[in-house]
């Protein structure tokens, strides 16, 4: 229920030029405030990427394993992490993000986007304090779950803010930069891991964890300088604050601001009418809506089906236990290649709309790379040439995944739902995507950890057919 309005919104005043027609009059310099606010929010996926980059390396650090692992003279590190602990350390973060994605609706209807990001920042800082101060595995588990909740809130509420604040002509650019920021965060995390991995004692993993404080602190300070989302303010009947927020971020005249306020009011009325006529089960009643729902779920689920999560969460550990030299450096290389692939994709994504073609080709590339990795290791294990081949195939895999699968999976998942059921369908598809990511992260240690099945690179035999079937 919306709050009592602080001012009325007239819908009878003659309209001024709308949407892109108005925005075409202004360039980036004119919209610099709104774009600066969106850039600040883009630090949220950077934080998400840092966490992924860091945690993969920590599991291969002697200093970390001395505290949370056990001695294993058969491995190069001299230590190992039990399968159960490895599962929970990585998967609890994904589980937390999954839970956070399910609570976005109720939270978003009560508190604003800025307040939600502040809450996520506080949660992130608290979780990191727990992880840095504890030497008990239970404390580490609690920290991982809390930081997962934080990351889930970072990813969802930052996207909402950008979608609602960014000028329409720049909105696609700002949203598409999310994957770049995530990969850049992963690269920074792996680089820091690389420099501290040779340190002795707890400092080797405490220094990388200290990096986690930077983004939430900068976000908390930056949020003091930007306004709340005008759309959220309008949704709660706060018309004058919404006008003020729009004036802050738009180089418009008062008449243009009033026109956009009216557009938002009409849009909210339409959404309210649509939501009242749609229910969760409507996604499955009509054959067309059911097909759209299934396709949207499949579109977002192919990211997990490609096997990417085990490469992202356990890449450094995977290289280390396989005896492939310079594990931390190799992880840095793969992350850097991933960023290049995303940048290449960003230059073509607006010119080529073949979502299905790119997804199919990308999945086939990923499947072939996984299969060849497994075959090479099976035929000639534990040799320098095999290690070099696996790193090269890893580069091919990342090019296929980051350059094609990841980007087009999100686009397809967002475009497939019908307008009437968009929030229900996309919410379910996103939750399923997080669930499959959690499942992949949780089960991977059984296959790659020497304490369990110890398949190592032969794990590719599982993901090669998964990629082909998804394609």
In this structure, are residues 104 and 430 in contact, taking their beta carbons and an 8 Å threshold?
A: no
pTM listed for this prediction: 0.81
pLDDT of 332-364, one tens digit each? Answer: 888 888 888 888 877 776 566 566 777 888 889
Domain ranges of the chain: 24-226, 282-471
pLDDT at position 4: 39
pLDDT level of residue 209 (50, 70, 90 thresholds): very high
Q: pLDDT tens digit string along 211-260?
A: 999 999 999 999 999 999 888 888 888 889 888 988 887 777 777 878 88
The tens digit of pLDDT for each residue in 262-280 reads 888 888 887 777 666 667 7
CATH number of 282-471: 1.20.1250.20
Of 242, 239, 198, 220, nearest to 43 (Cα)? Answer: 220
Residue 145: which pLDDT band, with cuts at 50, 70 and 90? very high
Per-residue confidence (pLDDT) for residue 1, from 0 to 100: 40
Tokens (6 digits) for 272: 């309210």
CATH number assigned to the domain covering 24-226 = 1.20.1250.20
Query: 420 pLDDT band (50/70/90 cuts)?
Result: low
């Amino acid at each position: 229920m919306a709050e009592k309005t602080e001012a009325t919104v007239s819908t009878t005043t003659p309209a001024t030029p709308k949407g892109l027609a108005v925005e075409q009059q202004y360039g980036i310099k004119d919209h610099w405030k709104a774009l600066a606010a969106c850039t600040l929010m883009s630090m949220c996926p950077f934080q998400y990427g840092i966490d992924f980059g860091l945690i993969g390396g920590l599991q291969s650090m002697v200093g970390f394993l001395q505290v949370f692992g056990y001695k294993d003279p058969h491995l190069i590190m001299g230590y190992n992490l039990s399968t159960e602990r490895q599962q929970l350390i990585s998967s609890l973060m994904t589980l937390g993000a999954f839970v956070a994605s399910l609570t976005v609706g109720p939270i978003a209807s009560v508190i604003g986007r800025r307040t939600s990001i502040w809450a996520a920042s506080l949660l992130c800082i608290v979780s990191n304090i727990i992880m840095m101060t504890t030497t008990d595995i239970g404390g580490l588990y609690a920290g991982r779950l809390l930081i997962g909740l934080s990351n889930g809130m970072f990813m969802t509420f930052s996207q909402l803010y950008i979608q609602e604040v960014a000028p329409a002509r720049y909105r696609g650019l700002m949203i598409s930069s999310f994957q770049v920021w995530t990969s850049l965060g992963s690269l920074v995390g792996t680089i820091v891991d690389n420099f501290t991995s040779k340190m002795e004692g707890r400092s080797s993993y405490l220094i990388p964890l200290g990096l986690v404080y930077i983004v939430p602190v900068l976000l908390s300070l930056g949020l003091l300088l930007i306004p709340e989302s005008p759309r959220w303010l309008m949704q709660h009947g706060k018309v004058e604050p919404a006008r003020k927020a729009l004036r802050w971020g738009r180089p418009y005249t008062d008449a243009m601001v009033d026109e956009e306020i009216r557009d938002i009011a009409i849009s909210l009325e339409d959404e309210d009418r649509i939501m009242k006529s749609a229910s969760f089960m409507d996604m499955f009643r009509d054959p067309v809506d059911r097909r759209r729902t299934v396709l949207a779920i499949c579109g977002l689920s192919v990211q997990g089906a490609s096997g990417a999560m085990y490469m992202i969460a356990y890449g450094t550990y995977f290289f280390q236990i396989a005896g492939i030299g310079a594990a931390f450096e190799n992880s840095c290389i793969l992350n850097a290649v991933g960023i290049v692939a995303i940048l290449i994709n960003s230059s073509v994504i607006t010119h080529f709309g073949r979502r299905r073609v790119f997804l199919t080709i990308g999945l086939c590339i990923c499947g072939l790379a996984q299969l060849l990795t497994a075959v090479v290791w099976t035929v000639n294990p534990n040799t320098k040439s095999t290690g070099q081949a696996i790193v090269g195939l890893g580069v091919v895999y990342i090019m296929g995944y980051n350059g094609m699968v990841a980007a087009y999976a999100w686009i397809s998942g967002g475009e497939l739902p019908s307008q009437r059921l968009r929030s229900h369908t996309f919410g379910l598809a996103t939750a399923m995507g997080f669930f499959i990511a959690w499942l992949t992260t949780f089960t991977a240690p059984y296959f790659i950890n020497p304490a369990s099945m110890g398949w190592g690179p032969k794990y590719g035999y599982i993901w090669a057919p998964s990629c082909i079937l998804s394609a």
